[in-house]
Structure 1
Amino acid sequence: MPADFEKQSYWHERFVSETSFEWLASSEEFMSIIKPYLPALTHHHDNPPKILQLGSGTSDLQNYFRSTGYLDVTNIDYEPLAIERGRQLEEAVFGDVKMKYVVADTTQLGRGLSHNQSFDMVVDKSTVDAVSCGGQEALLRMASGVRRNLAEGGAWISLSYSSSRFDVDQLPFDVEVIAKIPTPKLKETDPDVYHHCYLLRPK
């Protein structure tokens, strides 16, 4: 049976003992894909882009944003233990906590984020896969929440194991594959399998 990736109870039990884990790719690799899209989002030199990470879990991706000079980063997860882990990972590297950590459900973004808060970039590292375990309706709720919280000219970058993750009706985004990350092979004769990195721009 597949794990209950859409259930909070699964993540709570997992994060009790897990302090750090990266889905599909290292944060360094994912950041190298995201990085070229960041400068275009800086409207003024004194107004750095606001970034939202969905389902931050126990990833250290936020530390890569901070070390690249982006501090206006909000990390959300619906499991409080994950939020605690995120703060710990930041403090372990930088000695303090400057980014934001919020308990919120990615399929109910209007509830967890302050009203009318908008972001220039939204990123998720396989959170879209976990949400999709709850069905297409959950994915569409997540997508419409992201759409509502994206600033004008903003973009959503999503890393997924699926080559057809966003092939759903009524998606409020135009979708483009911007990278394919080959998965490690156990033996040379294994077939080529890729994780897909998507760029989504509002329709």
Structure 2
Amino acid sequence: MPADFEKQSYWHERFSSETCFEWLASSESFMSIIEPYLSRHSLTCQGSPRILHLGSGTSDLHNCFRLRGYLDVTNADYEPLAIERGRQLEQEAFGDVRMKYMVADATQLSCNLSHDQKFDIVVDKSTTDAVSCGGTTALSGMASSVRQCLADNGIWISLSYSSARFDIEQLPFDVEVIARIPTLKLKENDPVIYNYCYLLRPK
């Protein structure tokens, strides 16, 4: 049976002992895909982009942002232990904590954000996969939630194991696959399996 990825109780139990884990791809690999979009925003808007990292978990992606000089980063997860781990990872890497951390449900971000709080780039590393375990309604809720917190010309970049993750009705985004990342083969003759990186632009 699949794990209960959509349940907070699963993540609470997992994060009680887990200190660091990367989903689908290393943060460095994911950053190589995200970086051109971050740089483009910095050039066109003449400022650092406001970044929302959804489902930050125990990934070190947030530290990759900071290492490249992006400090206006809000790391969000609905399990408080993940937020605690994120702060610890930043403290250990840099000696202080300068990024923001927020306990929030990805399907109900408006409950934790002020009405005028908007982001230029929202990123998630397989958070859509976990949310999708709750069904299409949950994923639709996440999409609507992300749409509401995006600034004008904002984008959402999502990494998923599914080649059809956003094949849902009334999605408020135009969707494009911007990268396919091959998974590690266990045997030489195994078929090539990819993870998919999506770019979503509001309609």
Q: Report the TM-score when normalising by structure 1.
A: 0.98
Shift in alpha-carbon separation, 1:201–1:44, aligned structure 2, 3 A = closer
Partner of residue 34, structure 1 = 34
- The superposition leaves residues 68-102 of structure 1 with CA deviations (integer Å, 9 ceiling, x where unpaired) of 11000000000000000000000110000000000
Alpha-carbon distance in structure 2 between the residues aligned to 1:6 and 1:115: 26
Alpha-carbon distance in structure 2 between the residues aligned to 1:81 and 1:158: 23
Partner SS for 2:70: coil
Is the contact made by 1:41 and 1:154 (CA closer than 8 Å) also made in structure 2? no
Alpha-carbon distance in structure 1 between the residues aligned to 2:190 and 2:60: 30
**Which amino acid counterpart does residue 187 of structure 2 have in structure 1?**
K
Alpha-carbon distance in structure 2 between the residues aligned to 1:99 and 1:114: 18
Partner SS for 1:17: coil
Residue correspondences, number: 202
Alpha-carbon distance in structure 1 between the residues aligned to 2:25 and 2:39: 23
Q: What stretches of structure 1 move > 4 A for 4+ residues in a row?
A: none
Which ranges in structure 2 are unaligned for 5 or more consecutive residues?
none
Alpha-carbon distance in structure 2 between the residues aligned to 1:134 and 1:116: 29
Residue 109, structure 1, aligned to residue 109, structure 2: yes
Partner of residue 133, structure 1 = 133
Partner of residue 196, structure 1 = 196
Deviation at 1:116, TM superposition (A): 2.0
Residue 118, structure 1, aligned to residue 118, structure 2: yes
Alpha-carbon distance in structure 1 between the residues aligned to 2:107 and 2:171: 14
Is the contact made by 1:120 and 1:155 (CA closer than 8 Å) also made in structure 2? yes
- Aligned-residue identity in percent: 74
Residue 61, structure 1, aligned to residue 61, structure 2: yes
Which ranges in structure 1 are unaligned for 5 or more consecutive residues?
none
Partner of residue 75, structure 1 = 75
Deviation at 1:126, TM superposition (A): 0.1
Deviation at 1:115, TM superposition (A): 2.2
Alpha-carbon distance in structure 2 between the residues aligned to 1:143 and 1:191: 31
Alpha-carbon distance in structure 1 between the residues aligned to 2:126 and 2:190: 23
Residue 21, structure 1, aligned to residue 21, structure 2: yes
**What is the root-mean-square deviation in Å for CA atoms of aligned residues?**
0.8
